[in-house]
């Protein structure tokens, strides 16, 4: 495999997720994060006139791999402990005490509430979060939130690309310590950044990770709006989650109108579920997501998720609860401080859903997809500290993602409903033979 020279090469190889962390790692400010409108993705661009070939951008790029053993939360925050304390397994169910935050957030509003408490208790000076652009309602922009209003404004899931490089660049010039809220790929980049520059160990107090099955290109939202007969130019703003749990997709229009749609978990129509899964899971996936084994933000101090493992909860919970996984000693202290002194979060201990998470088929299929890339002579990410596992079922399920290649060409979007029916047929076959 040809060696990478800059993150431009990582993008060309299909291993870049556009997280943006490489921008802040460049000592010459040669990296910019731009939007590839045709692909619907963020991408790095290196200015050849400024680049000095130091390869620093590659050292912190999570796209080319991540050493799980080296960057676990304990080693990153407890280096001087003589015994090398083990990872904590603390797990909670919780929700925001403020009912308006809870109802309008993705699943309980705990991330927002934790940030509010940490800010009030002066554990942080602010947080790197993501909101939608005021100019483009479908474009995400990173922000440094330093007050209650800014934190609440960033609440909710964004089922589209997110880059945090611009906010990290601004963070260089801010006093204080900050939290970063991000997907597993963002947290991987932060951990590598901290390893290569002690400044960031002090600047970033907490990494708050979100569970992530995969993320989608901006084109997934465009496809969904087109299928619903909504012109993008008529959209004022969009919320992918909210209005209770499991929530709705809400689109506010420029003329004051509003359109709301169920999410797959509470959508009775088979055709509608297929459309939702096509747009926001299978057919517009960011390519690098296909080779990511971290669905649960293993490198974060604290990770947050929907409690899908509690099947009975789905039948009765309407406001939302959040699953909270404490990953390391730094996160343990944060949650203990918030439990004892905070006012914004209600928490109760619960067993960790390890058995449920280990059975997620997308994760097991990662290794077969990496193997396919390797056999084809394509670049593939490395994950020291992870043990690959393979199965025939996982290999067969790679057929599910044919649509993610078709969707790169808008003229082929009419074929995506057929791809959905193809997936359903493959499911029936696999279930019959397993």
Q: What is the domain-level CATH number for residue 40?
A: 3.30.70.20
pLDDT of residue 72: 62
Euclidean distance between CA atoms 193 and 20, whole angstroms: 12
Same-domain pairing of 187 and 302: yes
| Pair (202, 321) in one structural domain | yes
Residue 209 lies in a domain: yes
pLDDT confidence of residue 382? 95
Number of separate domains in the chain: 2
What the block records as the tokens of 291 is 């080779």
Q: Say whether both 12 and 120 belong to one domain.
A: no
How sure is the predictor about 73, in pLDDT bands with cuts at 50, 70 and 90? low
Q: pLDDT tens digit string along 77-89?
A: 444 433 344 445 6
Q: Given 26, 46, 64, which residue is the final one in a domain? A: 64
Would you state the pLDDT for residue 361? Answer: 76
* Nearest alpha-carbon partner for 31 in 59, 71, 2, 66: 59
Contacts of 249 by beta carbon, 8 Å cutoff, 6+ apart:
224, 238, 239, 240, 241, 260, 261, 262, 263
**Same-domain check for residues 191 and 320:** yes
Say yes or no to pLDDT of 124 above 50: yes
Same domain, 52 and 153: no
Q: Which residues contact 329 (CB under 8 A, 6 or more apart)?
A: 73, 74, 77, 78, 85, 88
Q: Percent of the chain beyond pLDDT 70?
A: 94
Residue 345 lies in a domain: yes
- 127 located within any domain: yes
Res. 347: pLDDT tops 50: yes
Strands (E) located in 332-427: 345-349
What is the DSSP code (8-state) at residue 291?
G
**Among candidate residues 47, 64, 81, the one where a domain is terminated:** 64
User: Looking at the structure, do residues 123 and 96 belong to the same domain, yes or no?
Assistant: yes
- Domain hosting 40: range is 7-64
Q: Which pLDDT band, with edges at 50, 70 and 90, does 76 fall under?
A: very low
Residue 329 located in a structural domain: yes
Q: Which residues contact 356 (CB under 8 A, 6 or more apart)?
A: 308, 309
The CA distances from residue 376 to 286, 334, 370, 371, 425, in Å, are: 20, 45, 10, 9, 27
Rounded distance between C-alpha atoms, residue 5 and residue 61, angstroms:
12
Q: Residue 348's CB: how many other CB atoms inside 10 A? A: 9
Q: Is 40 left (phi over 0), alpha (psi -120 to 50) or beta?
A: left
**Which letter, b or e, does each residue of 402-422 get, where b requires 16 or more Cβ atoms within 10 Å of its Cβ?**
bbbebbeeeeebeebbebbee
Give yes or no: residues 88 and 190 share one domain: yes
Same-domain check for residues 94 and 136 = yes
The pLDDT mean for the chain works out to 90
Select from 8, 46, 1, 2 the least CA-distant residue to 28: 46
Whether residue 321 is contained in a domain is answered as yes
Domain for residue 135, yes or no? yes
Within a domain: residue 393? no
Q: Assess whether 33 and 106 both reside in one domain.
A: no
3-class DSSP assignment, residue 131:
strand
Among residues 304, 324, 357, the one where a domain terminates is 357
Is the same domain home to 87 and 207?
yes
**51 and 180 co-located in one domain:** no
Separation between Cα atoms, residue 160 and residue 142, nearest integer Å = 13
> Could you tell me which of 224, 231, 186 has the C-alpha nearest to residue 207?
186
Residues 6+ apart with CB under 8 A from 56: 25, 26, 27, 196
pLDDT at 229: 96
pLDDT tens per residue, range 208-232: 999 998 999 999 999 999 999 999 9
Same domain for 34 and 80, yes or no, is: no
337 or 90, which is more confident: 337
* Rounded-to-integer distance, Cα 156 and Cα 110, Å: 11
Q: Considering the domain boundaries, does residue 422 fall inside one?
A: no
């Amino acid at each position: 495999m040809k060696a990478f020279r800059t993150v431009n090469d990582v993008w060309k190889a299909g291993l870049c997720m556009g997280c943006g962390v490489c921008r802040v790692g460049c000592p010459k400010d040669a990296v910019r994060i731009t939007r590839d409108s045709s692909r619907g993705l963020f991408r790095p661009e290196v200015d050849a006139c400024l680049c000095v070939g130091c390869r620093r951008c590659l050292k912190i790029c999570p796209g080319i791999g991540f050493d799980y053993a080296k960057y676990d939360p304990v080693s990153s925050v407890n280096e001087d402990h003589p015994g090398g304390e083990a990872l904590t397994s603390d797990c909670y169910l919780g929700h925001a005490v403020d009912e308006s935050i809870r109802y309008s957030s993705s699943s309980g509003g705990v991330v927002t509430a934790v940030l509010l408490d940490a800010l009030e208790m002066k554990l942080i000076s602010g947080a790197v979060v993501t909101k939608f652009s005021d100019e483009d309602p479908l474009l995400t922009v990173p922000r440094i939130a330093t007050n209650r209003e800014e934190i609440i404004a960033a609440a909710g899931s964004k089922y589209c690309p997110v880059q945090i490089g611009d906010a990290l660049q601004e963070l260089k010039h801010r006093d204080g310590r900050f939290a970063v809220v991000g997907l597993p790929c963002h947290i991987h980049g932060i951990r590598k950044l901290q390893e290569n520059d002690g400044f960031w160990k002090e600047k970033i107090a907490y990494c708050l990770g979100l569970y992530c099955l995969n993320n989608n290109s901006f084109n997934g939202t465009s496809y969904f709006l087109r299928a619903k007969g909504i012109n993008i130019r008529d959209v004022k703003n969009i919320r992918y989650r909210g209005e209770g749990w499991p929530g709705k997709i809400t689109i506010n229009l420029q003329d004051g109108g509003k359109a709301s749609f169920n999410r797959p978990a509470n959508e009775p129509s088979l055709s509608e579920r297929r459309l939702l899964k096509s747009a926001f899971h299978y057919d517009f996936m960011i390519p690098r997501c296909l080779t990511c084994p971290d669905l649960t933000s293993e490198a974060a101090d604290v990770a947050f998720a929907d409690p899908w493992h509690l099947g009975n909860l789905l039948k009765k919970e309407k406001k939302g609860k959040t699953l909270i996984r404490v990953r390391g000693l730094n996160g343990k202290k944060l949650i203990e401080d918030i439990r004892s002194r905070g006012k914004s979060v209600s928490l109760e201990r619960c067993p960790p859903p390890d058995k449920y998470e280990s059975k997620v088929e997308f994760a097991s299929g990662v290794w077969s997809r990496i193997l396919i890339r390797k056999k084809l002579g394509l670049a593939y990410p490395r994950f020291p500290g992870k043990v690959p596992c393979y199965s025939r079922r996982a290999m067969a399920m790679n057929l599910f993602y044919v649509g993610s290649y078709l969707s790169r060409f808008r003229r082929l979007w009419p074929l995506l409903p057929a791809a959905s029916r193809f997936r359903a047929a493959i499911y029936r076959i696999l279930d019959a033979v397993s």
